[in-house]
Amino acid sequence: MEGKKTPYIFATANQKGGVGKTTTAITLGSSLSLFGYRVLLIDLDPQASLTNHLAVEPEKLEYSISNVMVSESFHPDEIIINKYRLKTGGCIDLIPSNINLARIEAELSVSEGGGLRLKERLKFLPDNYDYIIIDSSPALSVLLISAIAASDEIIIPVISDFLSARGVELLLTTIGKVETAINIKCNYRLLITMFDRRTNSSWKSLDYFQNKYQNCHFNSIINIDTRFRDASLIRKPLTYLDVNARGAIDYINAAKEIINGRKNQIKGAKDE
Ligand SMILES: Nc1ncnc2c1ncn2[C@@H]1O[C@H](COP(=O)(O)OP(=O)(O)O)[C@@H](O)[C@H]1O
Ligand SMILES: [Mg+2]
């Protein structure tokens, strides 16, 4: 493909921990790469689960996302780790994180325009990515604001239970505030994760979420699959470990929704 590519940037976000943010970033990213897309994953969580899951040791890193965030002279290119190169032409690259990000977080939250730093710095990325996925930390913090500000779209992984409903509303309020503050438009989509088909309450709350957030949810649902644990144990994306695992198929279906949605968007823009 000729010319400069504009990557489509996602962030996974939910202030609740353990809802599948990191799993979504990795498994959706690796699913997109299976279709030949070039994917960059950015770990924006000081706990560095994404980094760990991709078999990179956070504490041994010389450079991490923190360097990109604080130093203008630091080119993001210098810390990109080429993790996977596939025969499809797709790839997974990683900008890793470690606990240093917690210190940067404090600094950013008191500096003017701190929430825009990531967005600004991402302009200096190499232009060969199709998709960038930012994995955010479980808090309504300046790091989450940074992820929202830098993204075209927020993926909200949510467990299908009624207790999650209030959390989603809070997150959407935060997204709305960031949109107003910096005058951007950021779409969002809910992704139901860890869906338990056997319980009545899962189906009921699925119904609730799909009705309440019509047109703003993935049609694909991510079922509970113990194979995710196997994948994290060997520190590999599930889609690479076993492409036929239930959870891998679910994320591949979600990736197809993204790909088809992008094709329609690009076609729509050309027709205008
Ligand atoms: N669909 C799923 N089925 C079963 N376990 C899952 C699923 N998605 C994620 N997990 C597991 O749940 C735990 C929390 O997921 P994670 O992606 O780390 O959440 P978060 O990033 O929101 O804290 C991890 O151990 C992960 O392997
Ligand atoms: Mg996480």
> What pLDDT does residue 75 have?
81
For residue 3, is it within any domain? no
Q: Is the CB of 251 under 6 A from ligand 1?
A: no
Q: Which of 228, 230, 239 has most ligand 1 atoms within 8 Å of its beta carbon, as the pocket-test mutant?
A: 228
**Assigned domain for 1 exists:** no
- Give the per-residue pLDDT at 76: 81
CA distance 99 to 143: 13
Query: Which ligand 1 atom sits nearest the alpha carbon of residue 226?
Result: 4
The answer to whether position 201 is within a domain reads: yes
Question: What is the whole-number distance in angstroms between the Cα of residue 20 and the centre of ligand 1?
Answer: 4
- For residue 225, the ligand closest to its alpha carbon is 1
Element holding 134 (H helix, E strand):
strand 131-136
Residue 234 in any domain: the answer is yes
Ligand 1 atom nearest the C-alpha of 229 is 27
Domain count, the chain: 1
> Which CATH number does the domain housing residue 221 bear?
3.40.50.300
- For residue 26, the model assigns a pLDDT of 98
Whole-prediction pTM: 0.96
Q: Are residues 108 and 115 in contact, defined by beta-carbon separation less than 8 angstroms? A: yes
* Residue 77 pLDDT: 81
**Is 197 a pocket residue for ligand 1 (Cβ < 6 Å)?**
no
Predicted pLDDT of residue 3: 57
CB atoms within 10 A of CB 23: 27
pLDDT confidence of residue 1: 44
Residue among 86, 83, 78 nearest 126 (CA): 78
Taking phi first (over 0 means left), then psi (-120 to 50 degrees means alpha), and beta for anything else, what does residue 110 get?
Answer: alpha
Ligand 1: does its nearest atom lie under 6 Å from the Cβ of 17?
yes
| Ranges of the chain with pLDDT below 70 | 1-4
**Residue 2 lies inside a defined structural domain of this protein:** no
Closest ligand relative to 48 C-alpha? 2
What pLDDT score was predicted for residue 168?
96
Determine if ligand 1 sits within 6 Å of the CB of residue 19.
Answer: yes
Per-residue pLDDT, 73: 79
Residue with tokens 């860890």: 194
Q: Is the CB of 229 under 6 A from ligand 1?
A: yes
Token pair of 97 as six digits: 């994180």
Q: What is the pLDDT of residues 165-183, one digit of tens each?
A: 999 999 999 999 999 998 9
Q: Is residue 117 part of a domain?
A: yes
Which residues constitute the domain of residue 225?
8-271
CA-closest residue to ligand 1 atom 3: 224
- Report, in angstroms and rounded to the nearest whole number, the Rg of the chain calculated over CA atoms: 18
On whether residue 18 sits in a domain, the answer given is yes
Query: Per the domain annotation, does 79 fall within a domain?
Result: yes
Token pair for residue 217? 């949810």
CA 225 to ligand 1: nearest atom: 3
